[in-house]
Chains A and B, each alone.
Chain A
């Protein structure tokens, strides 16, 4: 049994006088211990909502969540608020996108780091301070002792993200969710942060869910990739097979739209036409059909099932792209940070 098993997860935002938004629409996802899974897709495909649903951080009003999220044998969606607060931060930790706003501006770094240790590991203030210093050193912050007494505005963006990572790692969680942890950082710092995450995951048996829209990040860190579209997984494979041989036309388009080093600079990028708003409900057919270059009548004949290419590669396309056909997909040498 996988560490995290998501089955038929649906998250619906109800709106007054407007049609509800199906942010996550029947998602299945497994994450094993020690595995790094990339969750990829464009804005609005339900990546971040999925992570918030796992942690139970979605607002309670105006949101309907159904399905099951089983973590380490327990259903996260039905457990009590008290139990959930115990799991959160201890067994599942999260790193957010924007380090500039994710730390409390009026509390010292030390306080923000030690409060997790005291809450989940039952440490005294003194023990927590020693451990906090060790954690800051572990994430590569120099003069860690001094940093504990500083406030977030005294640190750079990269430093703040390191602090947030130290907070997330504080209780050696079984699973770490990183929601676009490098998006707000400049490229050299991105590479450092990814290195840090990679090293940590390799050293411990932590499962890492990497939420990103950056294929370079995926190539750099993930074992497996799940591509999401319109709240559902449309293709899943091990990292390199997906880059080499994408079957779903959306994946193919996503890879083709990334810049590569081989292509001359003058070449225009090839974007996917339309926007994520142009979608049809999954019940009527493939949600990507309105934007798909290979759409046929079959695509609109009900929800497309998940099809297996082999043990590790599945997709949800009734008219899949053939290996190495059509416009050349981007290869391994992406512009990775």
Chain B
């Protein structure tokens, strides 16, 4: 198991180097050159010169690259042009919110999707099966922002059950050592704060999780149908095991293998795709911030975002690989 992890981490290095080369080249290909691109549009010639100096643009290109690499390794992307704060500080401030939201959305999708998909497969061809398949199609086709507005209107505005916007209620006192509010509440023994953060997460998580939910329902249904026809499930039946034992031990364990792939890919997508949901719920995550940065041509922020997202994709993939090795012994052997 340790070797699997070590190998995957080593494989991440060339990916990150490739990415840094791309980013390095991209900044140097910007209109007007990197120095002009990295300052605000109304900057004076002296300011541009200062940036040029700080970037060391008069040095050989490979030294420039190494210097750049050194900065990237320290997650130092300079100062945001929009907020005039260091990009790193902005990221630390906002990424936990988006991660918390993406993970909540995935938990929602899994907790609802896997049982539904399993049930549909067991009742293959029945009215309920058709209903689940049809509604999962609807789930995929509803745009995220529409779903978000709908949920907000019904459950927050009309019924008033859940908060409309934000991550937490200002009147609930809380400390945030990690930036993950639910976790923070648990760590500081402030369960009220955790509960408040969860309430704020419910609607955005459902809005964001609807598409993965639909995909997981279909995927689970298809793989469970496959696995149920395997010879080893017939062997398990022939042993006279209980239905529960057969489904939990023999069917689901095997059906998890393709499911883990989907969950990994979807989780990566969710992290970088929270913009619409965050906007509707005024959720202070990274998505809405980066959307603003794109319009403002805030290149330092965009660079930082791209690198952090890449690192997170690599981490998610690593977790997926570890999960594979845990579930399927044949992966461990190879």
Question: B330, A57: Cβ atoms under 8 Å?
Answer: no
On whether A101 and B240 interact (CB within 8 A), knowing A107-B249, A115-B245, A151-B329, the answer reads no
Question: A89, B230: Cβ atoms under 8 Å?
Answer: no
Question: B253, A164: Cβ atoms under 8 Å?
Answer: no
On whether A94 and B238 interact (CB within 8 A), knowing A104-B232, A105-B232, A105-B330, the answer reads yes
For window 110-165 of A, CB contacts with B under 8 Å fall at 111, 115-116, 119-120, 151, 153-154, 164
For window 81-118 of A, CB contacts with B under 8 Å fall at 84-90, 93-94, 96, 98, 101-107, 111, 115-116
A104 and B257 CA atoms in complex are apart in Å by 13
Tell which of A107, A111, A153, A164 touches B333, judged by Cβ atoms closer than 8 Å: A153
A30 and B14 CA atoms in complex are apart in Å by 69
B78 to chain A, nearest CB (A): 49
* List of B residues within 8 angstroms of A105 by Cβ: 232, 254, 328-330
For window 78-124 of B, CB contacts with A under 8 Å fall at none
A123 and B333 CA atoms in complex are apart in Å by 32
Question: A115, B232: Cβ atoms under 8 Å?
Answer: no
Summarize A's interface: helix, strand, loop or mixed.
Answer: mixed
A22 to chain B, nearest CB (A): 23
Q: Does B239 contact A (CB under 8 A)?
A: yes
Question: A86, B232: Cβ atoms under 8 Å?
Answer: no
Q: Does B236 contact A (CB under 8 A)?
A: yes
Q: Which of A61, A102, A103, A164 has the most CB of B within 10 A?
A: A102
Query: In the complex, what residue of chain B is closest to A167 when comparing beta carbons?
Result: B239
A295 and B331 CA atoms in complex are apart in Å by 59
Tell which of B239, B245, B327, B330 touches A153, judged by Cβ atoms closer than 8 Å: B330
Query: In the complex, what residue of chain B is closest to A89 when comparing beta carbons?
Result: B240
For window 250-290 of B, CB contacts with A under 8 Å fall at 250, 253-254, 257
Q: Does B70 contact A (CB under 8 A)?
A: no
B200 to chain A, nearest CB (A): 39
* List of A residues within 8 angstroms of B245 by Cβ: 115, 119
* Number of chain B residues whose Cβ lies closer than 8 Å to a Cβ of chain A: 24
Query: In the complex, what residue of chain A is closest to B236 when comparing beta carbons?
Result: A104
A169 to chain B, nearest CB (A): 12
Question: A61, B125: Cβ atoms under 8 Å?
Answer: yes
For window 203-253 of B, CB contacts with A under 8 Å fall at 230-232, 234-242, 245, 249-250, 253
Question: A85, B329: Cβ atoms under 8 Å?
Answer: no
Q: Does A55 contact B (CB under 8 A)?
A: yes
B326 to chain A, nearest CB (A): 10
* List of B residues within 8 angstroms of A107 by Cβ: 249-250, 253
A106 and B327 CA atoms in complex are apart in Å by 7
Question: A115, B239: Cβ atoms under 8 Å?
Answer: yes
* List of A residues within 8 angstroms of B234 by Cβ: 57, 96, 102
* List of B residues within 8 angstroms of A101 by Cβ: 230-232
Question: A115, B240: Cβ atoms under 8 Å?
Answer: no
Question: B238, A104: Cβ atoms under 8 Å?
Answer: no
On whether A85 and B240 interact (CB within 8 A), knowing A104-B250, A115-B245, the answer reads yes
On whether A89 and B231 interact (CB within 8 A), knowing A105-B328, A106-B253, A153-B329, the answer reads no
A88 and B240 CA atoms in complex are apart in Å by 5
Q: Which of B232, B237, B238 has the most CB of A within 10 A?
A: B238
A55 and B327 CA atoms in complex are apart in Å by 30
A9 to chain B, nearest CB (A): 19
For window 130-183 of B, CB contacts with A under 8 Å fall at none
Q: Which of B125, B237, B250, B254 has the most CB of A within 10 A?
A: B237
For window 292-334 of B, CB contacts with A under 8 Å fall at 327-330, 333
Question: A164, B330: Cβ atoms under 8 Å?
Answer: no
Question: A93, B232: Cβ atoms under 8 Å?
Answer: no
A225 to chain B, nearest CB (A): 24
Question: B238, A55: Cβ atoms under 8 Å?
Answer: yes
A164 and B236 CA atoms in complex are apart in Å by 11
Query: In the complex, what residue of chain A is closest to B254 when comparing beta carbons?
Result: A106
A280 to chain B, nearest CB (A): 32
Interface string of B31-63 (1 = CB under 8 A from A): 000000000000000000000000000000000
Question: A85, B231: Cβ atoms under 8 Å?
Answer: no
A154 and B239 CA atoms in complex are apart in Å by 22
Question: B240, A120: Cβ atoms under 8 Å?
Answer: yes
User: What are 18 residue pairs bridging A and B, where the CB atoms are less than 8 Å apart in the complex?
Assistant: A57-B237, A57-B238, A85-B242, A86-B240, A88-B239, A89-B238, A96-B238, A101-B231, A101-B232, A103-B232, A104-B232, A107-B250, A116-B240, A119-B239, A119-B240, A119-B241, A153-B329, A167-B239
Q: A residues touching B (Cβ–Cβ < 8 Å)?
A: 55, 57, 61, 84-90, 93-94, 96, 98, 101-107, 111, 115-116, 119-120, 151, 153-154, 164, 167
Q: 16 extra interchain contacts, Cβ-Cβ under 8 A, other than A86-B240, A151-B330?
A: A55-B237, A57-B234, A61-B125, A85-B241, A85-B242, A89-B241, A90-B240, A104-B236, A105-B328, A105-B330, A106-B254, A106-B328, A111-B249, A115-B245, A119-B241, A153-B333
List 3 tightest A-B contacts by C-beta distance, closest first: A89-B240, A88-B240, A89-B239
